[in-house]
Amino acid sequence: MIPILKTSEVTREEIFQRRDALADVSGAVAEIIAAVRAEGDKALFRYMEQFDGVHLSSLEVTPEELDAALEQVEPELLAVLRRASENIRAFHSRQLRSGFLLTEQPGVVVGQRVLPMEKVGVTVPGGSTPLASTVLMNVIPAKLAGCREIVLVTPPDKSGAIPPVILAAARLAGADRVFKLGGAQGIAALACGTESVPKVDKIVGPGGAFVAEAKKQVFGQVSIDMIAGPSEILIVSDGKSEARHLAADLLSQAEHDKNASAVLVTDSMPLALAVQREIEVQLPRLLRAEIARASVEGNGKIIVTEDLSEAVEIANDLAPEHLELSVEDPFSLLSEIRHAGSVFLGRNCPEAMGDYYAGPNHTLPTGGTARFSSPLSVDDFVKKTQFIYYSGDAMKKAAPDVERFALAEGLTGHARSAVIRTEEIK
């Protein structure tokens, strides 16, 4: 049963405590990356047989397979994917920005160009839950940014196939190439390049412990989006919300992972007790009930505060991945929220709206990193290049300042490179 804590009776350490049981896989991941770097495709096929139990002659999904997937997905679901894609595209298109040019000083031009990354890799987990939403959320922003090649990797099932809904989403979102690869070996292939898999400039997308560790180890060789931890939801609620709604929202994250965190913060003890009871009613109905049970009992909690102001303070301290404001006037509280990945406003906006449909990205900072990082966006797929131009007269005017600055740092070569041009001009 999910525990109830009163802020008046427990310490802040008890409120913020969570139990993560993540294994150290750094050694195993390092071995996989080294093997892929040395052996290329040979290592990828070997790991596919070892980890996925599949023997394949080719890693890449053909364009014909991608097109066929659109026919294999039931029309109603395909229509939902299209509508979700439109919402995601509409939201992220507003994030596009151009460079700028400054010409205020005579003879001086400075500016910045915003350029798309050439090649990016997207990793999509496999397993019992085909995450088509992850495909849309990661590929569409990259496509809008103008990336020349978007490479998606996702592990095959035991028959060597990828679920049609994943391939359909990849086609709708605009992925250029799709490979049957998962785990640390998929990350290694994208980071190092092999005979079949192109080397990319950045890797984005979620995954388990092996994927997270692999992304950490290849960072620097390539860029990454973030090191994502277990999923989190925090709900701030007054006493007027429906207990069954809140219980359902908490369980929607608890079913992700045994290490997921589901937290309710409320100023109402009657609501806290009602939600505690309702979780026990709803939990056995879930297909992933065992996972959800481990999550709510290991990391879940209901925190009862003196008032909503204290609840907001706790939310800001925890900096959750997902934050629901299930209160009478959520917009009045929104301005008080300083740290959260994505905020869901009101009693009719469950976190699942963000996962699938509304448009804002569902790849979000976890583990309190919302204090300093942001959701995945178009910005993750572009880079900035600066440029500077000085005419001869402008250089002559600025050279003494540059010389003084350089000499103050003891860098006489820097100073000379500036003043030598004024000598030539004279």
**Three-state helix/strand/coil letters over 292-360:** HHHHHHHCCEEEECCCHHHHHHHHHHHCCCEEEEECCCHHHHHCCCCCCCEEEECCCCCHHHHHHCCCC
In degrees, to the nearest 5, what angle opens at C-alpha 306 toward C-alphas 302 and 311?
55
**Largest distance between two CA atoms of the chain:** 87
The edge-to-edge listing of strands for the beta sheet with 322-326 is 4-6, 301-304, 261-266, 232-237, 322-326, 342-345
AA letter at 227: I
Tokens of 136: 């849309």
The burial class, CB within 10 Å (0-12 / 13-18 / 19+), for 154 is buried
> Is residue 129 within 8 Å of residue 99, measured between CB atoms?
no
Picking from 256, 340, 254, the residue whose alpha carbon sits closest to that of residue 2 is 254
Catalytic residue status for 149: no
Catalytic hit among 321, 324, 351, 403 = 321
The owner of tokens 């405590």 is 17
Cβ-Cβ contacts under 8 Å for 86 (sequence gap 6 or more) = none
Picking from 159, 167, 157, the residue whose alpha carbon sits closest to that of residue 65 is 167
Catalytic hit among 245, 256, 322, 362 = 322
Picking from 272, 388, 369, the residue whose alpha carbon sits closest to that of residue 319 is 369
DSSP 3-state assignment of 90? Answer: helix
Would you tell me how many other CB atoms lie within 10 Å of the CB of residue 259?
Answer: 20
What DSSP element (H or E) covers 189? Answer: helix 183-192
C-alpha span between 44 and 134 (Å, rounded) = 23
Catalytic residue status for 322: yes
Tokens of 398: 């600025």
The sign one gets for the Cα dihedral 45, 47, 49, 54 is negative
> Is residue 326 within 8 Å of residue 346, measured between CB atoms?
yes
**11, 12, 14, 16 alpha-carbon torsion, rounded to 10°:** 170
Catalytic residue list: 321-322
